[in-house]
Structure 1
Amino acid sequence: MSSVDRRKLVISRRVGILIVIIFVCINNLNAGGKDFNKRFFDRFLKRGKRGEFYRNYKKKSSNIYLSPICFSPSADTKLTESCFICGGLDWSPDGTKIIFASSKDNDLLDIFDISPSGGPINNLTLTSDDVEFSPKYSSDGSKIYCTILDFSTGVSGIYKMNSDGTNKTLIKQFSENEELEDFILSPFETKISYVLDEGNYGSLWIMNIDGTNSIELTKCKEWDRFDFSPDGNYIVFKDTNGYISKINITTKELTQLTTVHSYSPDWSPVEDKIVYTAYNASWQKDIYVMNSDGTGKTNLTNLSSGYPYEPKYSPDGTKISYGYYDWNTDEEAFYVMNSDGINKIKIADVEVWDSVWSPDSSKIAYTDYQNIFIVNSDGTNLQNITGNTLPIMNENPCWNGNFTKIAYIAEYPDVNKLMVMDSDGSNKIELDSVDTRCRTFSFYPHPTKIVYSTDTYDANIFTVNYDGTGKTQLTFDGESVFPSWSPDLSKIAYYSYDESIGECLKIMNSDGSNQIILAEAECNELPPEWSSDGTEIVYLYGTSWDNQSIWIVNISSPFLKTEVVSGIYDYCAMTFSPDEQKIAYAIWWDYDNPDNEGLWVVNRDGTGKQQIYQGEIEWEERIIWAENNRIYFAGEGYIYSIKPDGTDLIQESSNLGWGFDIDRADGSKLVYNAFDIFLASEGGVTLYSISGYIKDSSGNGIEGVTVSLTGEISSSTITNSAGYYEFIDLKAGDYTITPSKTDWVFSPFSYSVTLNKDVIVNFTGAPVGTVSIPAGENENLVTVERPEAGKIKVIVEEKAKHGKGVINPDKNEGIFILNNPKEKYTGKEYKIKVFNLIGEIVDEFLKIPQSIDDIWIK
């Protein structure tokens, strides 16, 4: 393989995604129909609680599929502006409106509509505490269905509202442990089907249009298209083996339709045909059509290279639109062809991530995530109807050496721009166009110069002054990426490709002279990390993508190398400790052992390996071990720091964020990005925990108790076999903890705490019992026998000493039983006291019965 071919396969981040897809297919991991954009959706949509735009925080046991993407509290200062069109395009049945989700008006996603001819963009759901996305019109266009994430609770649900955004109504709410991927409406709008992400697979569900009667149909691939048959009786989807299957929504009869890896099924709206993409025996991907019983498979594209994706029928069934990417030529295109595969027309030279046909099949609307375009189905009359000039996002901020300037990437659909601005966000200057990857440049510790690599297909390294002057090319091999300054600024380390050894780690003088190969180095997705004295570099090398090792190399001849850790799955970030005796590294992903994902520390000789943080670490983001002996990282949606022994976890960013930089001395001056770049307020957020045991009167743990937490955040968990529960990573504030379990009562009933340290709150539980009161009984004290754990008592006191009561402690309700059933006892004030098994008052309140058999509920 030539060096150019090798570079195209390995160094390009975008192409790297495709390579991962091929490996995934070979290893029967079955990347989904939206696999081409999988990494994009992972980076930009699956943020926060491990996705509560569709994923979950492992440590917090709460996941959504849509995270609150870019909420920006006032605590941190926003330095840039962007506008992200999330997609989810849908065209109203009467053809007069297009709806979509965007961050246009604030830093959360709202739902907008616009006329296909352009004009005003109307925000239908402007809110400050939730995120709306994936909008879909009802069949008559009077309603909009969508997914909404409540930012304050991290809980998502399917909603409907009027087409003008009014009368928002919950249809189906998902728990924090349920990760909604997407939903679709049946043709006659009687059913909703949705997919929940369950890790390596998903589950396909069906429910009534009003959210009742949810039934799991089968397992499936969690991130691929699924579609109803025109009669609404079947759903076609990608099964767990990577094949296209269909299922009867009533009988659950399952039929496998393909025998090769297949993706993105779309059922013709007018005939019994299904279009899809699939690999042939030579691993060439094409678009196929088949009968709905799996017969009559026909290749519609017959490509020799390239990657077609997302085929979609027009409403009249006569045409099919699809996207195309060719990694050999870097061609991106959007096509339309007849449903039999003839008359292929290139609609646009752009990668199309989301599109929708007009109801009359004459036009297509699509988005490149910056704007929405309308084009005739024959490719004529292309119009930009949104006219947005802001970037999709601003990311990867990096300080200069004296913390007066910030370099960053402004991302557009067709180019990424290397930018620099003052620390307050002013004086923004465009320096150059750069590669599509995250960390293609370094600024710190240089006070005035940025070193960076350029386009993927001509990857060379340059330096430039922060004012745009003095641009100098340092490499000319077209193979050089990820540069980083040495601490003394005399050298630059980078990754490249050499015919003699393949991918490798190199160094050169800061003027580009004396380029030296230090070591083989594969699968590195971040600039090399130097030791603080500038004598060593830590890097990654392995024989396969699921078996990597961390190495240290000395930059002086004979370039001695030491293996530190082996057996790492996929890519990882790494850094030296300030004293150079330890290495911290982050495992972004481990398919076989997800518990390995997190932050690790190891001695430089490979001993003493310790996981200090378990949970999601953001893909392709750096970690920094500062001189204050704290390790800074992006994980589960925020920027955190932690001590090397795993204690004292602090949330450093108020806003969601992933790319970041800090002052290496003390961790101050945190600058980070979500969809825009923020300067953090000084001081992080210290996080605390609430934990405890729930046991019966004999000291045995009670398993399966639901423990609810309300306050600064709302969450819930369930006790284990020992009765233990835990809430972690909580900000300071007021919280209330309440246990509940059917046929059990707990003492205390609930517990409130002002959290400013780790707190232990224990509860005692007992089964609910029953009581019968003999006629004529006069005692005010009623003892309730319990089947297993002793007694509970209820006291009913009246100022005139009359009355008693019966209680159901599980429901906190009861019945007044008056001593003498005469009306003279009604209308008087009674005091009700409820005691637990150990004599503590569980509740106390006043009640005025209105009849002789009044029921009280509290």
Structure 2
Amino acid sequence: MEEHVSGYLPPMRSRGPEFRLRRLTHDPAGAGDGAISPDGARFVASSRRAGSLNLWFYELATDQWHQGTRGAGDDIEAQWSPDSSCLAFTSSRGGHKAVWLYRARDGRISQLTYADHEEEYPQWSPDGTQIAYAGGPWGHRHFYVVPAKGGRPRAVTRTPGRAGACSYLPDGLALVCHSYDTGAGAISVLPLNGSPPIEVTDGSAWDYKPSVSSAHPVVAFSRSFEGRSVIWVQRLDGTGTGRALVTEAADDRWPNWTADGQNLFFHRLVDRGVGIWVLDRRTGGVRQIVGADEQPRYGSLSPDGTRLVYAAEDSGRSVVKIRDLAGGPPRLLPLGEAAFPAWSPDGRSIAYLSRHAARPRWEIASYDFAEGVSRVWTRGMDWLKGMHGPLDWSPDGTRLVFKSDTEPFEADLCVLDVRTGEVHKLTEDPWWDEAPSWTPDGRGVVFMSTRGGDWTWGFYRKDLATGEITTLAGPDYVERNNPHLLPDGTLLCSLVASGAEELHEQQPDGLGRVLSAAGPSVRYPVPSRDGSLVVFARTYRTVEYWLAENVWAPGSPIAGLAGDFDRPLETGPGPAPWSMGPVRSPVDTRRR
């Protein structure tokens, strides 16, 4: 295998003149997944700038966008051919995801793959003759290679699994892939001659979307432990040596290199709270309680409706504060890093998510106002993973419901009994269940889930006495989030109805309406116990596109990785910062 590895990559090239990290542009309608052209002159990305999710091109010299593909269906994950004459991309315009081609000179598109299952993440071979991609039903997918001019695809994996994305090594003899077979995301080298794959990362983090530099034997990929992603660059010499490109509190994803391997392109997700408001459903009046300067994310009203507990951003961390609705300054609670606070029905405590600096996992915790004491409930329960998300008190204040990840793109609902400290599963199946809330009578739980199949979302209610699960809304491709059932039978949620996320009510008779007074970009609506008030956050969302130039020059955070590569590639990548098994996916489940 040593001679194979030495043949994967060409000799080192000279370093660039000066390292620079610069933001190229941003797109509030963007979906990310951009790719820089081989010459670095432009990039392609998916965007809803014209309504549908299509391919758009951005010219770096003129700072101008122009549209590529048009029409219905989602066009995503475009990648340039080595000569820039063509792009391969994923599209659902034929009914489900398949690989399509876009000819740059005239915009002509054609379908390349025709399987009856999903096919995605195309990537060109260095000579432009082949395209690799992942295909198959979820959990039973292969990596395939197909001639770029069309033909019969060939599976290059021996057994099916949870295949993700891949890219070619510069000599075209192997793929560097990510998969979810470890329970998280892991990177490996997959030789195309049938040899066994070689482990690059061990799956203790969520590693995905790898891209190999042509200048040095290193791979760049997105890495997340629980929450935001960073661009991680790691040597391919088996030592496991790697570094983050950017260490600030950002959410950076999907790196790819220019053809010379000197510049690294990526996108950054910006999702910033701009305020918290309260809507009075009786009068339709809306009042802002928290301003944009605190970057608030999530709020919960006290049972008497006089105070608000909320999560806000502080120096890249999430903290929890309390504010009187009548006015006055906020008070910071001594909880450390905390998120998703929920006021107990008796008003004497709050439940929240807590995270200690020494360990990345979020834990379920509570804080007693009278005693000024916090308690972490889930510490030591190692079978719970990825609990970051909304949680809710039962009406009698004895139980908390929350979600816990189980496998990649799967999560169960769990209930914590605060009288005993015991946790049991409420759902246990191969779906993604999240955002649970109790019904007003405490006899059931409402939640969102992919259990409709084909990665569609729906709202469901589980009856605790009978175990029966009934459908409340969907399932379909309409994006709806965070359901709450009100005492009058109304189903409250946020819903993307016209390009923006808005506050939505579904009446008991099934008729729905948008509460337009709340405005656009609504997130995390939480009703008062009697359903008369709704507290919600509003957010600013955009996708920024960045270019790290001359990354091997002095001053670059990763310049030290371009060192002596005489050591052979080994199978052990070295210890990870944490070893924690399955972790929370930072990837949208509909995109994987």
Under TM normalisation by the shorter chain, which class is it? 0.5 to 0.7
Structure 1 SS opposite 2:157:
coil
Aligned equivalent of 1:264: 165
- Distance of 2:327 and 2:45 partners within structure 1: 35
Matched, 1:295 2:194: yes
- Distance of 2:351 and 2:452 partners within structure 1: 34
Q: Which residue, 171, 180, 190 being the options, matches 2:68?
A: 171
- Offset from partner CA, 1:485-542 (integer Å, 9 cap, x none): 5768xx5533699xxxxx974545xxxxxx337x8731xxxxxxxxxxxxxxxxxx24
Q: How does 1:150-549 map to 2 (within 5 A)?
A: 150=49, 154-175=51-72, 178-197=73-92, 202-209=97-104, 210-219=106-115, 225-240=121-136, 241-260=140-159, 261=161, 262-277=163-178, 287-291=187-191, 293-301=192-200, 303=202, 308-316=207-215, 318-322=217-221, 334-338=232-236, 341-348=237-244, 353-357=253-257, 361=261, 394-410=296-312, 415-421=317-323, 427-432=329-334, 439=340, 441-443=341-343, 445=345, 449-455=349-355, 457=361, 459=363, 461-463=365-367, 471-474=372-375, 478=379, 491-494=397-400, 505-508=415-418, 515-516=419-420, 521-522=424-425, 541-542=426-427, 544-546=428-430
Gapped runs of 5+ residues in structure 2?
A: 1-14, 272-291, 382-386, 404-412, 542-592
Aligned equivalent of 1:70: none
Letter of the 1:672 partner, please give it: A
- Distance of 1:392 and 1:164 partners within structure 2: 36
- Offset from partner CA, 1:66-120 (integer Å, 9 cap, x none): xxxxxxxxxxxxxxxxxxxxxxxxxxxx979xxxxxxxxxxxxxxxxxx95357x
Task: Note closer, same or farther for the CA distance 1:598–1:675 as it changes in structure 2 (3 Å cut).
Answer: same
Letter of the 1:638 partner, please give it: E
Q: How does 1:726-805 map to 2 (within 5 A)?
A: none
CA contact (8 A) 1:576 1:625 kept: yes
CA contact (8 A) 1:202 1:220 kept: no
Letter of the 1:155 partner, please give it: S
- Offset from partner CA, 1:564-601 (integer Å, 9 cap, x none): xxxxx855735335xx4985734422154888933569
Task: Note closer, same or farther for the CA distance 1:233–1:278 as it changes in structure 2 (3 Å cut).
Answer: same
How far the C-alpha of 1:235 sits from its partner, in A, is 0.7
- Distance of 1:612 and 1:449 partners within structure 2: 33
CA contact (8 A) 2:112 2:150 kept: no
How far the C-alpha of 1:398 sits from its partner, in A, is 1.6
Aligned equivalent of 1:90: none
Aligned equivalent of 2:289: none
Task: Note closer, same or farther for the CA distance 1:616–1:193 as it changes in structure 2 (3 Å cut).
Answer: closer
CA contact (8 A) 2:504 2:515 kept: yes
- Distance of 2:294 and 2:487 partners within structure 1: 31
How far the C-alpha of 1:623 sits from its partner, in A, is 0.9
Structure 1 SS opposite 2:56:
strand
Gapped runs of 5+ residues in structure 1?
A: 1-93, 97-114, 372-389, 498-502, 509-514, 523-540, 548-568, 677-858
Aligned equivalent of 1:661: 526
Q: Normalising by structure 1, what TM-score?
A: 0.46
Q: How does 1:620-769 map to 2 (within 5 A)?
A: 621-627=482-488, 629-636=489-496, 637-651=501-515, 653-665=518-530, 667-675=532-540
- Distance of 2:88 and 2:58 partners within structure 1: 18
Letter of the 1:454 partner, please give it: S
Task: Note closer, same or farther for the CA distance 1:464–1:168 as it changes in structure 2 (3 Å cut).
Answer: same
- Distance of 1:273 and 1:158 partners within structure 2: 28
Task: Note closer, same or farther for the CA distance 1:521–1:290 as it changes in structure 2 (3 Å cut).
Answer: closer
Structure 1 SS opposite 2:20:
coil
Structure 2 SS opposite 1:226:
strand
Letter of the 1:181 partner, please give it: I
- Distance of 2:43 and 2:324 partners within structure 1: 43
- Distance of 2:469 and 2:211 partners within structure 1: 54
How far the C-alpha of 1:236 sits from its partner, in A, is 0.4
Task: Note closer, same or farther for the CA distance 1:294–1:434 as it changes in structure 2 (3 Å cut).
Answer: farther
Task: Note closer, same or farther for the CA distance 1:404–1:223 as it changes in structure 2 (3 Å cut).
Answer: farther
- Distance of 1:484 and 1:279 partners within structure 2: 30
Task: Note closer, same or farther for the CA distance 1:170–1:284 as it changes in structure 2 (3 Å cut).
Answer: closer
- Distance of 2:293 and 2:112 partners within structure 1: 41
Matched, 1:597 2:458: yes
- Distance of 2:69 and 2:327 partners within structure 1: 42
- Offset from partner CA, 1:666-695 (integer Å, 9 cap, x none): 54444234458xxxxxxxxxxxxxxxxxxx
Letter of the 1:342 partner, please give it: G
How far the C-alpha of 1:245 sits from its partner, in A, is 0.8
CA contact (8 A) 1:462 1:475 kept: yes
- Distance of 1:317 and 1:361 partners within structure 2: 7
Task: Note closer, same or farther for the CA distance 1:134–1:601 as it changes in structure 2 (3 Å cut).
Answer: closer
Q: How does 1:52-63 map to 2 (within 5 A)?
A: none
Task: Note closer, same or farther for the CA distance 1:200–1:412 as it changes in structure 2 (3 Å cut).
Answer: farther
CA contact (8 A) 1:393 1:410 kept: yes
How far the C-alpha of 1:655 sits from its partner, in A, is 1.1
Q: Normalising by structure 2, what TM-score?
A: 0.63
Structure 1 SS opposite 2:333:
strand
CA contact (8 A) 1:202 1:219 kept: no
RMSD of equivalent CA atoms: 5.1
Choose 153-162 or 404-413, whichever is displaced more: 404-413
- Offset from partner CA, 1:219-243 (integer Å, 9 cap, x none): 4975863210112221101121411
Task: Note closer, same or farther for the CA distance 1:495–1:117 as it changes in structure 2 (3 Å cut).
Answer: same
CA contact (8 A) 1:145 1:161 kept: yes
Aligned equivalent of 1:149: 48
Letter of the 1:257 partner, please give it: V
- Offset from partner CA, 1:31-89 (integer Å, 9 cap, x none): xxxxxxxxxxxxxxxxxxxxxxxxxxxxxxxxxxxxxxxxxxxxxxxxxxxxxxxxxxx
- Offset from partner CA, 1:354-378 (integer Å, 9 cap, x none): 434476546767777579xxxxxxx
CA contact (8 A) 1:220 1:239 kept: no
Task: Note closer, same or farther for the CA distance 1:581–1:433 as it changes in structure 2 (3 Å cut).
Answer: closer
Letter of the 1:473 partner, please give it: S
CA contact (8 A) 1:226 1:237 kept: yes
Higher relative contact order structure (alpha carbons within 8 Å, sequence separation ≥ 6): 2
Q: How does 1:38-117 map to 2 (within 5 A)?
A: 117=20
Letter of the 1:400 partner, please give it: S
Aligned length: 472
- Distance of 2:119 and 2:333 partners within structure 1: 37
- Distance of 1:573 and 1:496 partners within structure 2: 6
CA contact (8 A) 1:271 1:317 kept: no
How far the C-alpha of 1:647 sits from its partner, in A, is 2.8
